[in-house]
Amino acid sequence: MLTFLAKGLLRDRSRSLFPLLTVAIGVTLVVFMDSYLRGATDAMFAATASFVCGHVRVATRAYAKAGADATNELALLGVDSILGELKRDFPDVTWTLRTRFGGLVDVPDSMGETRVQSPAAGMAIDLSPESPERKILRLEQSLASGHLPSAPGEVLLSDDFARRLDVKPGDKLTLVSSTMNGSMATYNFTLSGTVRFGVSAMDRGAVLADINDIQQALDMPDAADAVFGFLPVAGYDDRLASRLAARFNSGRDTTDRYAPVMETMRLASGLGSMFDLIGAATGLIVSIFIVAMAVVLWNAGLMGSLRRYGEVGVRLAIGESKPAVYRSLLAESFLIGLAGSVLGTLAGLGLGYYLQEVGIDISGMMPNATVVIDDVLRARVTPVSVYIGFVPGLLATFVGAAISGLGVFKRQTAMLAKELGS
Amino acid sequence: MENGVVISTDKLVRKFKVGRTELVALKEVSLEFRRGEFAGLVGPSGSGKTTLLNIIGTLDAPSSGTAVVLGERVESLSPVRAASLRSRHIGFIFQTFNLLPVYTAYENVEFPLLLLGMSQSERRKKVTDALEWVGLADRANSRPTQLSGGESQRVAIARAVVKRPELVLADEPTANLDAENSHKILQTMVSLNHDLGTTFLFSTHDEKVIRYLRRKISLIDGRVANDEVRSPNSD
């Protein structure tokens, strides 16, 4: 009987090919959308963690409260001791010092007079050869010219910024800024190289200096804006970050505005609502796809039932029982759902994997963007991608057939002769 | 089944509700049919022919009275038991053939045997025999769309008789056929009735069919107006 049903399915394209394509396309879209949204979210999290606040950030309460308006005068003091404490208490987390600074970059000519000046936003990090920052910020991969700083007083500029200033590795630069106490500060650097992060907001005009040089330049001995922590997990785990923060903050002085406080990326980046929104939007988009697919398949099942009205009537008249007819409709839908879901999942995974490996360059779409996000959007294929489309694809087909097939039980056998005779 | 009686009805009544009106389609119909009969229910539209055929075919149940078909009381049959009785012992032939369009003639004829769970070799033999009886062995692999109306009806007959049922019910089987094809179909059924001993019961008002009947039961307004045993072609 199964062979008989399979023959019918293969020969009648409207009851096999159309539902199969519907399931396959629906499942492909669900799988691809899920991996794409995961990839996009990951890229945003990763860029935010790398450049803005880490997965967790330790700063003064005042600095944390000031958010984007925070200045160096609210910096954390005694950072060597705090860094040591963090490394001891949370050894699995990678900890680094970060200081943001702003000012003017002055490029002198051969006579020592100003040739060109430009405002710049800078980031002070540990640029020593053994520093984890090299990996976190992918400095080696991002190097566009020259070399990474290997001696005190060496600095990196973003490649676009260096072109605008018309400077090359080896040229001298002067940073004109203010100390953490508000005095004017000047400091001479040598450009060791240029970098291109593929993050438009950083590539437009960033200076990367060593944290020791900036501590000296801005009169910040044993001080830094914050200590960034990077969790040993792929993506961002908000629950783990929250546990760390709760443990660090437990028993600390909450009245001293200069006391250290640990915040999760969710809080420190100010993107908490956006995180929630992205999560909800992802769930919503996937849900809409699933519901739409179920409705289409249910409708396809109803259309199929109408089209096969005569066939079902003959089968009932010949002596097939209603439960047997119903079971055969379910078996057909199961086969269609299974085949469509397998095809759709494979296609979705293939597309997702391609986008994960190759990505889409969106830098041209956001030349003036201030959002810190990777210029190349990538998908992320996860184990969830395997079943997020497969299970709904199979269920939607089966449930669609189960609901539409109930019409078999409403069929009045007393009317069969009249229906089949007309 | 005493004395070869395959169907017996006693004071059979079937009422339908049409809106608030109660329509009585059969009024105390009492009949008996013996094994091997070639009989027809004759009468104008609305006389109750199809209703009686439905009850005898276990597709419907009487409102009152009794109908015993092949030893089973129709009024007390469960739907599953009724389906089982149809699949084993009753063959149906419809006016519009109702072949399953995606299957070949062979597969259409094979379908009732699949319901009975027969082995493939047994099915092959029975289907081949049935197609030979109706003269369509060479069209076994044709789809219904590739068959003429007469050929389609002959496939439908093969499907009805392939399981060697004791009873074949035919509802206006020649209504969609021309005179020549009707004649061929009826001759096929006559020879099957003769060779296999199958009981044929028709519902018809087609004179071409009536000429072949050996028993003609006239129904008027749900009552048996006349029950006549006759020689074929006696009209």
**Percent of chain A residues topping a pLDDT of 70:** 95
Are A13 and A230 in contact by the 8 Å Cβ rule? The answer is no
Is there a contact between B112 and A310 if contact means CB atoms under 8 Å apart? no
Do A61 and A202 sit in the same domain of this protein? yes
A45 Cα to chain B: minimum distance (Å): 55
Are A214 and A124 in contact by the 8 Å Cβ rule? The answer is yes
0.80 exceeded by the pTM?
no
Higher pLDDT, A67 or A146: A146
Are A48 and A202 in contact by the 8 Å Cβ rule? The answer is no
Give me the mean pLDDT over the A25-34 stretch.
Answer: 88
Q: Measuring CA to CA, which residue among A313, A409, A15 is closest to residue B98?
A: A313
3-state helix, strand, coil in chain B (%, to 5): 40, 30, 30
> Measured between beta carbons, which residues in chain B are less than 8 angstroms from residue A4?
103, 107, 110-111, 114
Are A296 and A402 in contact by the 8 Å Cβ rule? The answer is no
Do A203 and A335 sit in the same domain of this protein? no
pLDDT digits 0-9 by tens, B20-61: 888 899 999 999 999 999 999 999 988 999 899 999 999 999
Do A42 and A170 sit in the same domain of this protein? no
A19 Cα to chain B: minimum distance (Å): 17
Among B86, B177, B201, the residue to mutate for chain A (most A Cβ within 10 A): B86
Record the tokens describing residue B7, joined without a space. 């169907």
Let me know if residue A330 belongs to a domain.
yes
Do A215 and A86 sit in the same domain of this protein? yes
Do A204 and A116 sit in the same domain of this protein? yes
**B31 alpha carbon, distance to own chain's centre:** 16
Q: How far apart are CA B146 and CA B157, in angstroms?
A: 17
Q: How far apart are CA B134 and CA A337, in angstroms?
A: 40
Is there a contact between B83 and A319 if contact means CB atoms under 8 Å apart? yes
Q: What is the DSSP letter of A75?
A: P
CA distances from B176 to A203, B100, B101, B181, B208 (A): 82, 17, 18, 10, 12
A17 reaches B (C-beta below 8 A): no
pLDDT digits 0-9 by tens, A108-123: 988 888 899 999 889 9
Q: What is the pLDDT of residue B201?
A: 95
Q: How far apart are CA A317 and CA A419, in angstroms?
A: 11
Q: What is the DSSP letter of A375?
A: S
Q: Among all chains, which residue has been given the structure tokens 């988009």?
A: A285
What backbone torsions phi and psi does residue B224 show, to the nearest 5 degrees? -75, 110
Do A199 and A137 sit in the same domain of this protein? yes
What backbone torsions phi and psi does residue A147 show, to the nearest 5 degrees? -140, 165
Q: How many CB atoms lie within 10 A of CB A291?
A: 12
B140 Cα to chain A: minimum distance (Å): 16
Q: How far apart are CA B235 and CA B228, in angstroms?
A: 12
Give me the mean pLDDT over the A342-354 stretch.
Answer: 95
Do A87 and A155 sit in the same domain of this protein? yes
Q: How far apart are CA A157 and CA A205, in angstroms?
A: 8
At residue A54, the 3 state secondary structure works out as: coil
Let me know if residue A336 belongs to a domain.
yes
Do A42 and A73 sit in the same domain of this protein? no
Tell whether the model's pLDDT for residue A220 goes beyond 60: yes
Among A230, A259, A284, residue at a domain's last position: A230
Beta-bridged to residue B22, according to DSSP, are B17
pLDDT digits 0-9 by tens, A116-172: 999 988 999 999 888 999 888 888 888 899 999 989 999 999 999 999 999 999 999
Tell whether the model's pLDDT for residue A338 goes beyond 80: yes
| B107 residue type, one letter | E
Q: Measuring CA to CA, which residue among B180, B191, B111 is closest to residue B150?
A: B180
Is there a contact between A319 and B86 if contact means CB atoms under 8 Å apart? yes
Do A104 and A121 sit in the same domain of this protein? yes
Tell whether the model's pLDDT for residue B208 goes beyond 70: yes
Poorest-pLDDT segment among A63-72, A87-96, A110-119: A63-72
Do A130 and A168 sit in the same domain of this protein? yes
Do A341 and A212 sit in the same domain of this protein? no
What is the interface pTM, i.e. ipTM, of the complex? Answer: 0.86
Tell whether the model's pLDDT for residue A368 goes beyond 60: no
Tell whether the model's pLDDT for residue A233 goes beyond 90: no
A419 reaches B (C-beta below 8 A): no
CA of A414: which chain B residue's CA is closest?
B60
Are A24 and A343 in contact by the 8 Å Cβ rule? The answer is yes
Are B159 and B108 in contact by the 8 Å Cβ rule? The answer is yes
Q: What is the DSSP letter of A74?
A: G
Are B50 and B205 in contact by the 8 Å Cβ rule? The answer is no
Q: How far apart are CA A30 and CA A351, in angstroms?
A: 11
A219 reaches B (C-beta below 8 A): no
Let me know if residue A244 belongs to a domain.
no
A318 Cα to chain B: minimum distance (Å): 6
- Report the number of distinct structural domains present in chain A: 2
Q: What is the pLDDT of residue A244?
A: 93
Is there a contact between A413 and B115 if contact means CB atoms under 8 Å apart? no
Q: What is the pLDDT of residue A370?
A: 46
> Measured between beta carbons, which residues in chain A are less than 8 angstroms from residue B94?
314, 317, 417, 420-421
Let me know if residue A237 belongs to a domain.
no
Q: What is the pLDDT of residue A275?
A: 77
At residue A299, the 3 state secondary structure works out as: helix
How buried is B205 (Cβ within 10 angstroms: 0-12 exposed, 13-18 middle, 19+ buried)?
middle
Let me know if residue A266 belongs to a domain.
no
Higher pLDDT, A228 or A280: A228
Strand B21-34 to B5-18 pairing? antiparallel
B103 Cα to chain A: minimum distance (Å): 7
Alpha helices in B95-216 (DSSP H): 105-115, 120-133, 149-161, 179-196, 207-210
Q: How confident is the model at residue B129 (pLDDT cuts 50, 70, 90)?
A: very high
Enclosing domain of residue A395: 2-47+274-421
Let me know if residue A334 belongs to a domain.
yes
Let me know if residue A265 belongs to a domain.
no
**Average pLDDT of the residues of chain A:** 86
Buried-state track A15-44, b at ≥16 Cβ within 10 A, e below 16: bbeebbebbbbbbbbbbbbbbbbbbbbbbb
At residue A258, the 3 state secondary structure works out as: coil
Q: How many CB pairs (< 8 A) connect A and B?
A: 90
Across the interface, which of B60, B87, B94 has its CB nearest the CB of A413? B60
The angle subtended at Cα B42 by Cα B37 and Cα B47, nearest 5°, is 130
Do A204 and A61 sit in the same domain of this protein? yes
| A74 residue type, one letter | L
How buried is A144 (Cβ within 10 angstroms: 0-12 exposed, 13-18 middle, 19+ buried)?
middle
Give me the mean pLDDT over the B176-205 stretch.
Answer: 87
Tell whether the model's pLDDT for residue A222 goes beyond 70: yes
Asked whether the CA dihedral B116, B59, B10, B199 is positive or negative, the reply is negative
Let me know if residue A159 belongs to a domain.
yes
Q: How far apart are CA A300 and CA A404, in angstroms?
A: 9
Across the interface, which of B84, B103, B172 has its CB nearest the CB of A421? B172
Q: Among all chains, which residue has been given the structure tokens 């944390």?
A: A64
